[in-house]
Structure 1
Amino acid sequence: MAATYLHTLFGPGARALQEAAGSRAAYARMEAGADIDWLGEREADFIAARDSFYMASVSEDGWPYVQHRGGPAGFLRRIDGNRIGFADYRGNRQYLSTANLAADDRVALFLMDYPNRRRLKLIGHARSSDDPAEIAALASPGYPAEVERAFVIDVTGFDWNCPQHITPRFTEAEVREASQPLIDEIARLRARVAELEEHS
């Protein structure tokens, strides 16, 4: 349920525009749901299957900043309840997200599943951590990147979006997996043709 998510993000301006567009009544019913959006197994499984996401924070001057985060599938994971986290791998050393969170801990995350045209949006309060235990708990064994810190996010709300306007995109591994039966069949047919030519 997205009650907390909607109630938190719908300000007076958005509600007024919804009223004018005729969608306010439906959203008001959704907002009137449970007080807390609890991450369930569906959300935890979706989060754990991602190998990247986008995280927005706000600078001290009020400018929004969106950063792409990537790693092996499962590098972002639910720790417990509504708490998620990930290891922050060394990057370009601009430290924009880290600095932003020191001033304002609010974040918004977009998690995309392009092949299946699904997306999960989350909002919450984030903190960076240098605690070796938290870093070790969130590190991905075998992943070669250096971990600088951990990010821990207490999710306050989330919402699933409809697939409208999400263009399906596929990774190299997904394309390879889908095409492998055809590649195998071509190799089998070539071998058969070569065998027939050899005996003709």
Structure 2
Amino acid sequence: MTSRFAQLAFTPGVQRHQREHGSARAYRPLLDGPVVADRLGEAEREFVHERDSFYLASVGETGWPYVQHRGGPPGFLKALDDRTLGFADFRGNRQYITLGNLDHENRVALFLMDYAHQVRMKIMGRARATGDPALLAELTVPHYRAKVERAVLIEVEAFDWNCRQHIPRLVPLDAVERTVASLQERIAELERQNAELRAAR
């Protein structure tokens, strides 16, 4: 966990519970770190680029949180630099809840999952939507048929890598299908060789 993530997440109420449950001492050094935004390193940027989906949380005018799933081809979420993420906002159900929430409050949280390797990354930042043509061109995914309505930029404030405890190990369907196809080809080849050996007896 970074110091900046702890500074944002560990509110006075959170710290009270940490004291009551015995974890405050372990986390205290993080709170004393510099009050500067995190920068995405190579590992973080690579992890971002490999994702084909993520969860985006925003807060509405009534104070209720809203979590939205965003998906696309791997790499549709891009690290534009060490402080900025961006993605093409594809047309969905046209409820525009996140978009409306951003008009009121630009603070967001992202949850990026890699179920196959049991890895998760949390990001806090400030988001804004834009129709800037240059950004739309940079973030549009070639050959992906979804309609792009706008670009969304997220200025990263903090991130945290979580432990793998309790993450179910799930494998993408296309990876399973590739493995099964390869095994079926191998089985067919072995059956052919077996038939040839029997015929040669």
- Do residues 186 (structure 1) and 190 (structure 2) align? no
| 1:3–1:36 contact (8 Å) kept in structure 2 | no
Q: Which moved more, 1:2-11 or 1:101-110?
A: 2-11
Instruction: Report the TM-score, using the length of structure 2 for normalisation.
Output: 0.94
1:6-59 deviation line (CA, Å, top 9, x unaligned)? 101111111000011110011111232343321100000000000000000011
| 1:124–1:154 contact (8 Å) kept in structure 2 | yes
How many aligned positions are there?
Answer: 200
How far 1:81 sits from its partner (Å)? 2.2
Letter in 1 for 2:192: A
Gaps of 5+ in 1: none
Structure 1 segments, 4+ long, off by >4 Å, are 197-200
How far 1:181 sits from its partner (Å)? 4.2
> Counterpart of 1:129?
130
| 1:2–1:31 contact (8 Å) kept in structure 2 | no
CA distance in 2, matches of 1:76, 1:99: 21
CA distance in 1, matches of 2:99, 2:177: 37
> Counterpart of 1:81?
82
CA distance in 1, matches of 2:52, 2:29: 34
- Do residues 52 (structure 1) and 50 (structure 2) align? no
CA distance in 2, matches of 1:124, 1:63: 18
CA distance in 2, matches of 1:179, 1:2: 41
RMSD over aligned CA atoms reads: 1.4
CA distance in 2, matches of 1:16, 1:169: 36
Gaps of 5+ in 2: none
1:39-86 deviation line (CA, Å, top 9, x unaligned)? 100000000000000000011111100000000000001111210000
Task: Decide whether aligned partners of structure 1 residues 191 and 68 sit closer, same or farther in structure 2, where only a CA change above 3 A counts.
Answer: same
Letter in 1 for 2:119: R
What SS class does the counterpart of residue 58 from structure 2 fall into? strand
- Percent identity (aligned): 48
> Counterpart of 1:25?
25
> Counterpart of 1:72?
73
- Do residues 106 (structure 1) and 113 (structure 2) align? no
How far 1:146 sits from its partner (Å)? 0.7
CA distance in 2, matches of 1:106, 1:170: 32
How far 1:180 sits from its partner (Å)? 4.5
Letter in 1 for 2:3: A
CA distance in 1, matches of 2:63, 2:81: 31
| 1:52–1:69 contact (8 Å) kept in structure 2 | yes
1:90-133 deviation line (CA, Å, top 9, x unaligned)? 11100000010011001000000001110000000000011111
